Structure 1
Amino acid sequence: MIERLGLVSNALPAQAEELAALGGVLGLPLLLGLLGGLARPARGWPVAVVGVLPLLALGWLFLQVAGEGRVWTVPLGPLSLYWRVNGLALLMLLLTQAILLASALYAPTYLRVDVQAPARRQAWFWPLLGLLATSLSLIWLAADLLLLYFGLELMGLVAVGLMLLPGKADALVAGLRYLLLALIGSLAFLLGIALLLGAWGRLDLAGLTEAAEPGPLLWVAVALLSAGLLLKAAAFPLHAWLAPVHAAAWTPISALHAGLVIKASFFIALQLWLVLTPRSAPAAWLVGGLAAAAVVWGGVMAWRAAKLKDMLAWSTVSQLGYLLLGFPLLVGTDSTVAAVAWEGTWLQLAAHGIAKAAMFLAAGNLVLATGKSHLRELAGASRRFPLALLSFGIAAISLVGLPPSMGFTAKWLLLNAALMAGQWIWLAVLAAGTLLSAAYVFRVFRYSFVEDAPSLDFRPVPWSMDAVALVLALASLLLGLVAEWPLSLLRAAGGES
């Protein structure tokens, strides 16, 4: 399984070119964020110009590995830090750059038109955005628990800072609650790391694969690690903090949080299970039960939600259930099933990240245009704001899992993995989730297409905000037509066992 994760036990010291490529991927977003805080761009085109630079750095890193998985060590005094680049890491880096760039392009006009915060508070958005990009990239590239812990903590603190930017009472309450729960999750994660280090004296993932022995201590450590990470990921039943956080956050921050931040904790959790407990099928089935509950409960709550952003937040709880299905399909199954489930799980993560970010941006446009946050108050939106509603609908195609979207391809792979494994119950979960997703998505269109709605005052949405949401939504749809490209990336560079 470590081959599928791109981990090898014979890691080599990083060369100068490799260190420079790593430095560019990790350091360039932070530098650009600091410059953004000083310049405070009021238009999207400067952001588009400089946004090419991180993509160039990522291309340089890809050239360094030449399509092959690589694990490097970087000495740091008595410690050796382990870095991993493989197809999965490259896919996650591309996803991060795409959603970050979309949110950054959306933000200047949004901050100028909709946000009534002091200029200094708006300026903090850009350095925090750069820090978020750096912390996420660190998590995708880390191959030891020390780097993963540092990246996770940095990401959590930055996410809290972004949530507090509105400065309103509800944002402060939601942000501080998020901080408290994130610290609890971090404490559990740190205790798990301490147990592993004390028992086997290793922090690198490849070394732990060889050294860790099954037993009560390992299970306690994995339980602590999993509990902390699932709390941070808002996985059922540790999800109650998610909806208030999104309700109070700025729109581009909600897009980043739903599209990327909560995915990082899941990314770490699944990888640790594959490294430490690759054959623990009964425990993986327990996580599968939580996945089924998440799909159904989150879908029902999204269907019942009164506010648009609350509906999207509960939808995230439901959609995360599909990712949790990766545990019973990857842990304790044969290599053929695991190979299909591997592709379906990570493709579902990417599909949901792009689609949900697009839906949050489109929803932000609808809220800005109408000045209303409740679904019932969207009556007549089809006539007045067709582009925002079109973006929402196109992204919803992938969220529901309809062809030809990437979401459809991902769910098809998960369905095939469940059939091959003989785990029929997950077919019912996938079917129920699809029906519930369609039900709460169509509630938006039900109210939007009310033709006898009274004439209300509204604000025209700047074309750039509609354009960013539409491009991201189209990406979630059209990538399904070229799904073989991300799948080939997952199979390359350590993507196959």
Structure 2
Amino acid sequence: MTAPMSLTLFCLAAVVLLPLLASALSVLLGTAARRVMGVITSVTVLGLVTPILIQVTSGQTLELALGGFESPLGITLRADGLSALFLAMTAIVGAVVSCYAAARPAATGKRLVPAAEQRRRSHPADAGIGAEATAHREARSVVHADPSPVWRAGHAGFWPLWLGCWSGLNAVFVSGDLFNTYVGLELVGLTAVALVALGGRDAWPAALRYLFIAVLGSLLFLIGVALIYSVTGTLDIIASGEVIAELAASHDADLAAVVLALCLISLGLALKVALVPLHRWLIPAHSSAPSAVSPLLSALVIKAALFVLLRVWLWVAGPLPELVILAWVLAGMGAVAILVGSVMALRQSRLKPLIAYSTVAQAGYWFLLLPLLLDPETTALEGQTGTTLEDGAVLAGALGGTVALALGHGLAKASLFLAAGHLKDLYGTDEIDELRGAGRAHPMLVMSMGLSAVGLIGLPLSLGFTGKWLLATSAVAAGHYWILVVLVAGTLFSAAYLLKAVAPLLVMSEDDQTALTLPQAQTHPDDRALTGKAQLAPFVLGLLTVLTGFLGAWLTGVLEVGAPW
């Protein structure tokens, strides 16, 4: 059912257009004004997402044809339960990280400053001695000064890029057709690459590799979309799914093209998600990005590809038996990702690479449900005598568990990366041994990491626990006990590498009872007064990781709105 509420439909368009407009306008503003606009935009987008979530929660799917032109001629925006949940998570994380970036400009990247400008900053007294005297001093010192530019913390390009990326994310979540989904993915990918490059010269190789992966993944996705259009004659997600279902019922020969398209699309999206063994680009990109960028990459950017994967497999492909081999291959890669990512995380000595490998491991959980989608025994269970399962209950549980894991990962990983990046900026290192005992000086930061670890491990009361419980119960109901084994193994590995990351920070003294000493703090003068307040950002996200664990039943109900079963 399409909701007639004009205000909510306005919000549906505004969540895409407002960040894009703010991104364009921020280019014309000064550095301080950009921060103000960024915070205002983030709070506004959070407010715009709220009525969308409320309306979808009430059981209504929102649909808006921009300009009044219906599909296939126009652009259709559509929000169902899946869209609303990802919009909400993105709005929450985006607003918190935006406030953090505004409070700590030094966390937004590094920029090259000419040597003359750097000398003027180093000698502020020169401002009052006149231009002639200043020029004389610079001319006299140029022989002895290093003429090469220097790196300075803080980059004004963060706000246009991040707001543009946010617009692309929202466009992906509410797009009603495959081509505009591709456009949104491209906007997300290109802005994310540029955000990584803000980390300075050391981050440029990682950004270049990320660019190649982003372009290749988008190209594969676009080829797959073209194949689907050649078979179905439409780009609309729901309409193309209906045509493919008719082709499957009649065993049409064009199904071969659809299967090829799904293989290409899945491969392209697996590249963007960094599914093992396609993950090598993610570690340097996420670990070398600025402190305010790493949480956005891990918590939000890769979720766009996951969202499209779920949308294509559930709404476009449907239960095609021809995809069963592909489903098992992707699920196998997911299981391997949990193992490989966890082992590599255990081998790290630095916080940010450890957290990045944790992302590789956690992403593996999101692919375990694919064999359940295509197993005919899954839906047959619901009609057996003596069962209390409703129609679609097993698939709903599997999807609910996967989405809960993804949303919980977004909140927890944003908190972890913010805390680790804050410590790295403050002390100039993220070596775990160098940061031993940091919990004494920064109890809120370490508490944030502990709360995030609870969610990533999947301990009770967290959204991670809710996701694993829903996925495990659906797997057991369908007879896929191997998923239960993978979940248990992944939980143990998660506890091991997160304990390695957090435990040293809680140490109070050395074995001989001598006090631990942290490296010399390097707080940037531009954000020294706000450094303490900025620690609230990871704490808020860590707290939400645990508190949202009570929303499991509500989350499953929201996903039923607009579900394909």
* TM-score, normalised relative to structure 1: 0.90
Instruction: Summarize the alignment of residues 139-150 of structure 1 with structure 2, pairs less than 5 Å apart.
Output: 139-150=172-183
Say which SS state the counterpart of residue 252 (structure 1) adopts.
coil
Counterpart position of 1:166: 199
The Cα offsets for residues 292-318 of structure 1, whole Å up to 9 and x where unpaired, read as 101111111111112211101110010
Amino acid of the residue matched to residue 19 of structure 2? P
**In the alignment, structure 1 residue 138 sits paired with structure 2 residue 130:** no
1:91-110 per-position Cα deviation (integer Å, ceiling 9, x unaligned) = 11111111111110111233
1:80 aligns with: 74
- What is residue 97 of structure 2 aligned with on the other side? 103
8 A Cα contact 1:273 1:331, kept in partner: no
| Amino acid paired to 1:342 | L
Which residue pairs with 2:363 in the alignment?
A: 320
Are the counterparts in 1 of residues 53 and 88 from structure 2 also a CA contact under 8 Å? no
Q: CA deviation at 1:487?
A: 3.3
- Contact 1:303–1:439 at 8 Å: present in 2 too? yes
8 Å Cα contact 2:462/2:548 also seen in 1: yes
Read off the aligned partner of 1:276 and give its amino acid letter.
Answer: A
| In structure 2, distance between residues paired with 1:279 and 1:154 | 31
Paired AA for residue 108 in structure 1 = A
What does the per-residue CA deviation read over 1:208-236, in whole Å, with 9 as the maximum and x for residues that have no partner?
11222353211111111111111011111
Corresponding residue for residue 265 of structure 1: 305
How many residues were matched structurally? 485
Greater relative CO (CA pairs within 8 A, separation 6+): 1
- Deviation at 1:52? 2.7
The one of 491, 494, 498 aligned to 1:434: 491
The answer as to whether partners of 2:351 and 2:431 remain within 8 angstroms in 1 is yes
2: CA distance, partners of 1:173 / 1:418: 41
Q: Which runs of 5+ in 2 are unaligned?
A: 114-151, 249-254, 380-391
- Deviation of 1:19 after TM superposition, in Å, equals 5.5
Q: Name which of 315, 319, 331 aligns with 1:278.
A: 319
Secondary structure of the structure 1 residue equivalent to 2:78: strand
Cα 1:78–1:416 shift into 2, 3 Å: closer
**Larger mean Cα displacement after TM superposition, 476-485 or 438-447:** 476-485
Residues 108-119 of structure 1 aligned to structure 2 (within 5 Å)? 108-112=102-106, 116-117=110-111
Paired residues of 1:339 and 1:496 also in contact (CA < 8 A): no
Native 8 Å contact 1:295 1:433 kept in 2: yes
More divergent stretch after superposition (98-107 vs 59-68): 59-68
1:178 — aligned with what? 210
- Aligned runs of 1:86-97 on 2, under 5 Å? 86-97=80-91
Q: Does 1:378 align with 2:435?
A: yes
Closer, same or farther in 2 for the Cα pair 1:337/1:19, shift >3 Å? closer
Match of 1:471 in 2: 540
Q: 1:339 to 1:463 in 2, by over 3 A?
A: same
> Structure 1: which 5+ runs fail to align?
1-7
Question: Could you say what secondary structure the match of 1:83 adopts?
Answer: strand
Instruction: Tell me if structure 2 keeps the 8 A contact 1:366–1:389.
Output: no
Deviating more after overlay: 149-158 vs 204-213: 204-213
1:441-480 matches, within 5 Å, as 441-450=498-507, 451-452=509-510, 454-459=516-521, 462-480=531-549
Q: Deviations over 1:407-459 (max 9, x none)?
A: 11111111111111110111110011001100001112342244216524332
**Which structure 2 residues correspond to residues 20-419 of structure 1 after superposition, within 5 A?**
20-37=10-27, 38-41=29-32, 48-62=39-53, 67-74=59-66, 75=69, 79-112=73-106, 116-117=110-111, 122-168=155-201, 170-212=202-244, 213-214=247-248, 215-274=255-314, 275-280=316-321, 281-332=324-375, 333-334=378-379, 335-419=392-476
284-293 or 362-371: bigger deviation: 362-371
Alignment-derived partner of residue 490 in structure 1 = 559
1:374 is paired with a residue whose SS is coil
Structure 1 CA distance for aligned equivalents of residues 210 and 393 of structure 2? 40
Match of 2:141 in 1: none
Query: C-alpha separation between the residues in 2 aligned to 1:25 and 1:99?
Result: 15
Q: Distance in 2 between matches of 1:64 and 1:475?
A: 22
Residue pair 2:64, 2:77 contacting (<8 A) in 1 also: yes
Which string of whole-angstrom CA distances, capped at 9 and with x for unpartnered residues, describes residues 98-153 of structure 1?
11111101112332478553589722111111111111111110121111111111
> For residues 148 and 114 of structure 1, what CA distance do their matches in structure 2 show?
28
- Aligned to 1:117, what secondary structure does the other structure show? strand
Residues 483/339 of structure 1: CA separation in 2 closer, same or farther (3 Å cut): closer
Aligned amino acid, residue 20 of structure 1:
F
Q: Percent same amino acid among aligned pairs?
A: 38
**Secondary structure of the equivalent of 1:203?**
coil
CA deviation string 1:259-282 (max 9, x = no partner): 011011111112212221424344
Matching residue of 1:5: none
**208-217 or 266-275, which moves further after superposition?**
208-217
The one-letter amino acid paired with 1:106 is: Y
CA distance in 2, matches of 1:210, 1:76: 17
Instruction: Find the residue that maps to 1:390 and give its secondary structure.
Output: helix
Equivalent pair of 2:22/2:37 in contact (CA under 8 Å): no
Q: Which has the larger radius of gyration?
A: 2
